[in-house]
Amino acid sequence: MSPSHHACALLGVAGFSGSGKTTLLKQLVGLLTRHPLRIGIIKHTHHDVEQDQPGKDSFELRHAGARQCLLAGPHRTILTWENTKPEEPDLNESLSRLSLNRLDLVLVEGFREAPIAKIEVHRPECGKPLLCLHDPHILAVATDAPDLVAPVPLLDLNNPAAIARTIVHWWQAGRLPVPAD
C-alpha cells in the first residue's frame, strides 16, 4: 500500500533537549525531499518567538491588535497567529493550519507526549532515560550507541541517509498514520 497523493502522513521526532533532534531533522528534510516527498514541519517551543521586525508593516499591524496576520509574498507566505493568553500549543490545531493536501509527510519536533508515530533521538551521554520504554508510539530509536538495549529497532544517528530510507519505507508501507481531519 502506498499513500495517495492527497494523504499526508505524520511522524514525530522525540527526545530530550540536547539529544540532536533539530540537527537530525535538518538532515532528514534535505534527504527526504530528494525522494521526492513534500515535507512540512511543526516545531514545538516553550519560548516566545518573534519572526518579524519592529518597523515592518506586518509587525506594526500585529502589534496594533490583529489576531492573525498573513504576509503574502512572491517567494514565501508567513502566517502569524496571536494567542489571547499564553497557552501550550495543540498539535491538532497546529496541523489544521497547514495545507496538508500539498504535503506528503509532516515531521513534528516536540509534542513528546502526543500519541503519534515517532522516532526517538537518544544519546546516552545526555543521561536521560529512554522514552520508548513507556511510549508505544515510538517505532525506532536513532542513537549513536550501537549496543543500546531497546524494545524497538535502533537506527544509526550518524547515518541520516539510512534513517531517511527507513522513513520512506514506512511511508510507502502505510506505517505512518494520516492526521485526522
Q: What is the pLDDT of residues 75-130, one digit of tens each?
A: 887 787 777 787 788 899 889 888 899 999 999 998 899 999 999 999 999 999 99
Considering the entire predicted model, what is its pTM? 0.85
The structural architecture, per CATH, of the domain 1-44+89-181 is 3-Layer(aba) Sandwich (3.40)
Mean pLDDT across the chain, nearest whole number? 87
Q: Which residues pair with 9 in a beta bridge?
A: 105
Residue 137 predicted with pLDDT over 90: yes
Q: Residue 5 — very low, low, confident or very high, per pLDDT cuts 50/70/90?
A: very low
Q: Which residue has the higher pLDDT, 83 or 19?
A: 19
Domain boundaries, the chain: 1-44+89-181, 52-88
148 vs 132: CA distance, rounded Å: 12
